[in-house]
């Protein structure tokens, strides 16, 4: 395991500002949660792996048939490859994703009796599972606090001036130092929801942003409230 990056003690004013932003985003998105559908830790692990290079909505559309056929790691490890490719085909990159699911399921069966482990140290040893996926599973299936550094999260914490880091592991630790552990999972949801709906990569809706007053990047996108409102999405990616 790589050493945990050394994180300097954050400035008190930055801590206060970051926590205020999180509180306002919690009020803005009281329904914030993982937007991938799942009922078990195995299902969440699989759909998170499948969500790479596609949208949560497409994964949610494909997952009922997938889990009806292969409800657990034992069943998926023994899956007919052609059938599995057919089920994940609508998500794109179906050969690579089929490979990933077969290897992941086989590793779960061989190492953990088909059960998803509940520690980041064990999760990241599984094929195709990095810290981002591991933290999604820990936070949402096991209630173990974790920070999910996806593209939205990384973009927002840099725009908000919380860190200048670009490496996801360094971002995770730098932002984690600003918040108590109990807040990490919901913080991830709040920022990801805001990134998908308002703080877009190319044209953020600055004039419709509830945390604009604490954002040093205000003005990156349109500041006129009417123009900005037209950019706001009411839900996650289609």
In a domain, 170, yes or no: yes
| Inter-axis angle of helices 184-197 and 12-28, nearest 10 | 70
Q: Determine the average pLDDT of the residues in 123-127.
A: 97
pLDDT tens column, 4-31? 566 777 789 999 999 999 999 999 999 9
> Does residue 221 share a domain with residue 129?
no
Average pLDDT, the chain: 95
Per the structure block, which two tokens stand in for 23?
Answer: 């509180």
Q: Determine the average pLDDT of the residues in 27-49.
A: 97
- pLDDT at 227 exceeding the cut of 90: yes
> Does residue 51 share a domain with residue 136?
yes
Q: Determine the average pLDDT of the residues in 130-136.
A: 96
Give the structural domain span for 175. 12-30+152-229
- pLDDT at 154 exceeding the cut of 80: yes
pTM over 0.85: yes
The CATH number of residue 188's host domain is 1.10.1670.10
Residues with a known catalytic role = 132, 150
pLDDT tens column, 183-211? 999 999 999 999 999 999 999 999 999 99
> Does residue 167 share a domain with residue 121?
no
- pLDDT at 2 exceeding the cut of 80: no
- pLDDT at 87 exceeding the cut of 70: yes
> Does residue 158 share a domain with residue 96?
no
Domain count, the chain: 2
| Number of residues that this document lists for the chain | 238
Domain final residue pick, 88, 116, 141? 141
Q: Determine the average pLDDT of the residues in 212-226.
A: 98
> Does residue 182 share a domain with residue 94?
no
The CATH number of residue 75's host domain is 1.10.340.30
In a domain, 6, yes or no: no
């Amino acid at each position: 395991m790589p050493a945990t990056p050394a994180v300097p003690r954050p400035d008190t004013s930055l801590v206060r500002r970051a926590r205020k932003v999180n509180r306002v985003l919690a009020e803005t998105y009281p329904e914030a949660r993982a937007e991938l559908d799942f009922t078990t830790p195995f299902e969440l692990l699989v759909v998170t792996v499948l969500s790479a290079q596609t949208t949560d909505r497409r994964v949610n559309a494909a997952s009922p048939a997938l889990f009806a056929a292969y409800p657990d790691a034992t069943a998926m490890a023994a899956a007919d490859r052609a059938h599995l490719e057919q089920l994940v085909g609508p998500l794109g990159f179906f050969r690579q994703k089929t490979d990933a699911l077969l290897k992941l399921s086989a590793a779960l069966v061989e190492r953990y009796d088909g059960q998803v482990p509940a520690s980041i140290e064990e999760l990241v040893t599984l094929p195709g599972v990095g810290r981002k996926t591991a933290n999604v599973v820990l936070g949402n299936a096991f209630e173990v606090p974790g920070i999910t550094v996806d593209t939205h999260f990384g973009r927002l914490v840099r725009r908000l001036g919380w860190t200048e880091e670009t490496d996801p592991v360094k971002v995770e630790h730098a932002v984690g130092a600003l918040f108590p552990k109990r807040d990490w999972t919901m913080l991830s949801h709040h920022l990801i929801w805001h990134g998908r709906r308002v703080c877009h990569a190319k044209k953020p809706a600055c004039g419709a942003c509830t945390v604009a007053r604490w954002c040093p990047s205000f003005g990156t996108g349109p500041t006129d409230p009417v123009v900005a409102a037209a950019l706001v999405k009411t839900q996650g990616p289609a």
